[in-house]
Chain A
Amino acid sequence: AQSVTQPDIHITVSEGASLELRCNYSYGATPYLFWYVQSPGQGLQLLLKYFSGDTLVQGIKGFEAEFKRSQSSFNLRKPSVHWSDAAEYFCAFITGNQFYFGTGTSLTVIP
């Protein structure tokens, strides 16, 4: 079955520390992969996407993600977290016209 797994429900990091949010997908081929961010009370904003080519993709707000086919993973990273990064993060992929979302990882940033 097609699915997206975000194993970490909640992560807490200190401001200035590095961040890695995990995402694994289950699909028979390489899907189009996305990371979205949702601030409290807001809709989802696209951070970055991977379709093909270079497996390290850069996004907005200093985020990057690396696609690893062998691990069926698409982990999101940021070298130095800012307090404004506190939000919910969703990994997703699309096959045909259907998106599949993970259940999200909530990020808390400690000053």
Chain B
Amino acid sequence: NAGVTQTPKFQVLKTGQSMTLQCAQDMNHEYMSWYRQDPGMGLRLIHYSVGAGITDQGEVPNGYNVSRSTTEDFPLRLLSAAPSQTSVYFCASSSLGQGGYTFGSGTRLTVV
């Protein structure tokens, strides 16, 4: 099925560990982004990309790293996990100029 696929769905990390959240889309969308969702704060943009090889920071980029080597994949790396990074993470993609995101189903991350 066409859409945005995020893995894993759930993850528990210890403080200081690193990990990569995977995101893949099969709609040939140029634009991909990562958001975190926290209670009472809505969605906050972490990083985004407008095409392969191009990434930029969003509102809350600290502690996260991204790369975009292909159109399909946009992984999010947590370099050294902290409890403040406990959140639900959403990947989204869209076709430039068309507006409207397609969202993945999310990754619920807990850092202990």
Contact = CB atoms under 8 A, between A and B. Distances in A.
A104 B37 CA distance: 11
B53 interface: no
A32 interface: yes
Contacts of B31: 97
Contacts of A32: 99
A45 interface: yes
Interface in B1-57: 4, 31, 33, 35, 40-43, 45, 48, 50
B103 A103 contact: no
B47 to A, nearest CB: 12
Contacts of A49: 99-100
Contact of B41 (A45, A97, A98, A103): A103
Interface residues of A, number: 21
Contacts of A103: 40-42
Interface string A22-52: 0000000000101010000111111001010
Given A43-B104, A46-B100, A97 B90 contact: no
A43 B42 contact: no
Contacts of A43: 4, 90, 103-106
Contacts of B105: 42-43
Contacts of A102: 42
Contacts of B106: 41-43
A78 B99 CA distance: 23
A63 B30 CA distance: 29
Given A42-B105, A43-B105, A43-B106, A101 B42 contact: yes
Interface string B94-112: 0010011111111000000
Interface of B: 4, 31, 33, 35, 40-43, 45, 48, 50, 58, 90, 92, 96, 99-106
Can you list the 7 inter-chain pairs with the closest CB atoms, starting with the nearest?
A: A43-B103, A103-B42, A101-B43, A44-B103, A43-B105, A32-B99, A101-B42
5 contacts: A34-B100, A36-B103, A43-B103, A43-B105, A98-B45
